[in-house]
């Protein structure tokens, strides 16, 4: 068996880790994981050429977690990451893999976060630290972070750290790591300076790069849709509505997402079934058989389960989650375009996976063309025309009885046939409405329109007929005018106009309590009982829980992400206050603002 085929258990991971991986629904190691786990467990240094989306976090986190001594409450693994966002993400991955390791503690540290809070957290003795280079160096210099107990250091996205001007900080940290500790360097590209760091600091490293597949698949029309993780389901549903589809396979990464997506599609009226490695052979065969016979149209599959699947009816492959490498991509899309038929492969990519998309294009020597998410109007048109087709079939039958019923109903309700027909259509369309509800894209469009007109009033609740306030969602965060590179998130707090709060109170409270420079507090909108505040993405959990309890106008803020919450308001949405009127947060000197450590980076999609 090649190393690629080994399971997580065969790679020798502890029961604690295996349990978490099982709960996360991971079925098998990704290629980079298969290649990295052995050498890292054996104590070797590695240099891995891999990018986001390949499973590289697990590739270093799993084997290194396996080595942690839970009796020692001091840093044993240090990961350097280019951005606050990535640091938080990597820390979260460690946390989820180590979920069953009692007493495990991981800490993300980055600029912009309160020093005092970091110091307190460091005192608790986390075994894993994930930090941006500048802040890690600050703590090492102050003596608040010591590396004597360090077993391994990881440089994640080394080329990105180089681009952000962190190379000197990295070298400085490397020079202070214990001589017997391991070093793992991951980078999507290998510029000269990274090679130089690698040559100087890596000790006889194992080189890992994942072989690319060069197969071209001409009978398959390959497309990609750029979509945020948040909007994937809506985009998928629209694609399913508009494309002339027969059998479809939708690929996801984990068993859990497989089951979840199947349930969501079922709830929306699509005949679909999951197909994953934990289903017994009989259940899997049944699902495939039903797809073959047209009793099912959609299978949602993991790579493991779809291996060798050969069903002529499959006209579409949707890569809902991007595959780990080009080989998996070729394998997945090869499920369509069989037996001389044409097939279509649609790949969903988030912003941060665009690089992976280009790698796949290069490796497979094929072009994947962009495709837009079908607009609500296109979906509505398609629904109407489908309804027309169904009615056409009914028109061919005997309708004498119904014609009499129509006449009677018109008389009883005192309406003409047009109005009656409209009312009946209204009833018929319930599951697939012909007027699509507003979704995020639309909200963004209308916001953009407003800002072009210079109206910064934000998302005022729309009014229904008769001036009744309509339920509205809070929408998503706007970018900062002066710092468009900082990714923002919209939060809701439980204090609003009715509590007598003003924008100044909110800015003051957040700036002081969360230690955020007021320049990084974005749009604020007051509603009757709540207020929305745009803040830099990736607010650490401890700051959020602190802010929850902070009181303004006598009420705890209870801050939370705006998410999909819907609210009703009398509609007097307050405009944002000019920035110059805002109180300044009292940041400690020398501390960089949140989200802006060194050069702020373009916003990344959280995937």
Residues of the shown chain interacting with ligand AMP in the complex, contacts defined by CB under 6 A: 26, 29-30, 33, 52-58, 253-254
End-to-end Cα, the chain, rounded Å: 33
Nearest approach in angstroms of CB 56 to ligand AMP is 5
270/502 Cα distance (integer angstroms): 48
Nearest approach in angstroms of CB 393 to ligand AMP is 44
Nearest approach in angstroms of CB 36 to ligand AMP is 11
Nearest approach in angstroms of CB 279 to ligand AMP is 16
For residue 493, the SS3 value is: strand
Instruction: Supply angle C-alpha 546, 552, 558, rounded to 5.
Output: 45
Compare residues 513 and 605 and give the one whose CB is closer to ligand AMP: 605
Compare residues 58 and 496 and give the one whose CB is closer to ligand AMP: 58
Compare residues 82 and 585 and give the one whose CB is closer to ligand AMP: 82
Q: Which neighbouring-strand residues pair with 357?
A: none
Nearest partner of 441 among 154, 201, 231, 194, judged by Cα: 231
The stretches of 143-224 forming alpha helices (DSSP H) are 158-163, 167-175, 192-201
For residue 216, the SS3 value is: coil
Nearest approach in angstroms of CB 30 to ligand AMP is 5
Nearest approach in angstroms of CB 540 to ligand AMP is 20
- Give the number of other CB atoms < 10 A from CB of residue 392: 9
Nearest approach in angstroms of CB 23 to ligand AMP is 12
Q: Which neighbouring-strand residues pair with 533?
A: 491, 524
492/548 Cα distance (integer angstroms): 10
Nearest approach in angstroms of CB 189 to ligand AMP is 16
Backbone phi, then psi, for 37, in 5-degree steps?
A: -60, -50
Nearest approach in angstroms of CB 569 to ligand AMP is 36
Output Rg (C-alpha) for the chain, integer angstroms.
27
Compare residues 139 and 253 and give the one whose CB is closer to ligand AMP: 253
Compare residues 25 and 39 and give the one whose CB is closer to ligand AMP: 25
Structure tokens at 9: 């258990």
The answer to whether 521 touches 532, Cβ cutoff 8 Å, is: no
Compare residues 31 and 522 and give the one whose CB is closer to ligand AMP: 31
Compare residues 52 and 518 and give the one whose CB is closer to ligand AMP: 52
For residue 181, the SS3 value is: coil
Q: Which helix or strand (DSSP H or E) is residue 472 part of?
A: strand 472-473
The answer to whether 77 touches 152, Cβ cutoff 8 Å, is: yes
Compare residues 186 and 520 and give the one whose CB is closer to ligand AMP: 186
Compare residues 108 and 343 and give the one whose CB is closer to ligand AMP: 108
Nearest approach in angstroms of CB 254 to ligand AMP is 5
Compare residues 53 and 126 and give the one whose CB is closer to ligand AMP: 53
| Residue 41 CA neighbour count, 13 Å, CB half | 17
What is the distance of C-alpha 556 from the center of its chain? 30
| Total residue length of the chain | 607
Instruction: Supply angle C-alpha 249, 251, 254, rounded to 5.
Output: 140
Nearest partner of 21 among 65, 75, 67, judged by Cα: 65
Compare residues 26 and 320 and give the one whose CB is closer to ligand AMP: 26
For residue 104, the SS3 value is: coil
Tokens 């805002």 label which residue?
Answer: 582
Nearest partner of 174 among 165, 160, 185, judged by Cα: 185
503/525 Cα distance (integer angstroms): 8
Nearest approach in angstroms of CB 352 to ligand AMP is 9
Compare residues 117 and 254 and give the one whose CB is closer to ligand AMP: 254
Nearest approach in angstroms of CB 99 to ligand AMP is 13
For residue 86, the SS3 value is: helix
For residue 368, the SS3 value is: coil
272/223 Cα distance (integer angstroms): 22
């Amino acid at each position: 068996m090649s190393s690629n085929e080994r399971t997580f258990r065969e790679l020798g991971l502890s029961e604690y880790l295996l349990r978490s991986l099982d709960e996360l629904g991971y079925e098998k190691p990704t290629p980079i994981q298969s290649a990295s786990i052995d050498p890292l467990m054996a104590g070797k240094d590695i240099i891995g050429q891999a990018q986001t989306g390949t499973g590289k976090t697990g590739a270093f986190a799993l084997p290194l977690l396996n080595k942690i001594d839970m009796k020692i409450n001091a840093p044993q693994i240090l990961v350097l990451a280019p951005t606050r966002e990535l640091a938080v993400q990597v820390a979260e991955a460690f946390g989820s893999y180590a979920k069953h390791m009692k007493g495990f503690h991981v800490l993300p540290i980055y600029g912009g976060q309160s020093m005092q809070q970091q110091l307190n957290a460091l005192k608790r003795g986390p075994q894993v630290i994930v930090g941006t280079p500048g802040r890690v160096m600050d703590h090492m210099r102050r003596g608040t972070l010591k590396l004597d107990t360090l077993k391994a250091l990881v440089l994640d996205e080394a080329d990105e750290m180089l681009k952000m001007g962190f190379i000197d900080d990295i070298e400085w940290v490397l020079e202070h790591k214990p001589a017997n500790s391991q070093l793992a360097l991951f980078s999507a590209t290998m510029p000269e300076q990274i090679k130089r760091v690698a040559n100087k600091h890596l000790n006889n490293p194992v080189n890992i790069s994942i072989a690319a597949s060069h197969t071209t698949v001409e009978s398959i029309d390959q497309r990609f849709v750029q979509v945020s993780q948040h909007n994937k389901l809506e985009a998928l549903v629209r694609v399913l509505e508009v494309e002339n589809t027969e059998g479809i396979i939708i690929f996801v990464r984990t068993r859990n997402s497989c089951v979840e997506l199947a349930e969501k599609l079922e709830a929306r009226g699509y005949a679909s079934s999951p197909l994953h490695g934990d289903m017994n052979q009989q259940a899997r065969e049944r699902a495939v058989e039903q797809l073959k016979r047209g009793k099912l149209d959609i299978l949602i599959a993991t790579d493991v389960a779809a291996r060798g699947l050969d069903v002529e009816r499959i006209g579409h492959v949707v890569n809902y989650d991007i595959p780990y490498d080009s080989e998996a991509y070729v394998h997945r899309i090869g499920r369509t375009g069989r037996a001389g038929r044409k097939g279509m492969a649609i790949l969903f990519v988030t912003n941060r996976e665009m690089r992976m998309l280009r790698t796949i294009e290069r490796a497979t020597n094929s072009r994947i063309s962009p495709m837009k998410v079908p607009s609500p109007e296109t979906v509505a048109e398609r629904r109407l025309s489908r309804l027309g087709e169904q009615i056409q079939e009914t028109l061919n039958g005997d309708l004498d009885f119904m014609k009499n019923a129509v006449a009677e109903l018109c008389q009883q309700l005192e309406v003409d046939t047009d109005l009656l027909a409209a009312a009946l259509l209204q009833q018929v369309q319930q599951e697939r409405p012909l007027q699509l509800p507003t979704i995020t894209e639309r909200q963004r469009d209308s916001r953009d329109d407003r800002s072009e007109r210079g109206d910064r009033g934000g998302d005022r609740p729309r009014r229904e007929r008769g001036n009744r306030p309509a339920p509205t969602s809070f929408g998503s965060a706007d970018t900062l005018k002066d710092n468009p590179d900082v990714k923002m998130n919209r939060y809701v707090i439980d204090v609003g106009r009715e509590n007598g709060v003003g924008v100044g109170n909110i800015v003051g409270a957040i700036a002081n309590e969360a230690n955020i420079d007021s320049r990084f507090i974005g749009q604020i909108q007051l509603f009757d009982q709540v207020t929305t505040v745009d803040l830099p993405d990736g607010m650490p959990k401890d700051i959020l829980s602190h802010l929850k309890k902070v009181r303004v106008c006598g009420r705890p803020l209870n801050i939370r992400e705006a998410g999909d919450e819907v609210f009703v308001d009398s509609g007097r949405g307050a405009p944002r206050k000019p920035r110059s009127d805002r109180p300044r947060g009292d940041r400690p000197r020398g501390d960089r603002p949140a989200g802006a450590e060194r050069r702020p980076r373009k916003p990344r999609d959280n995937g």
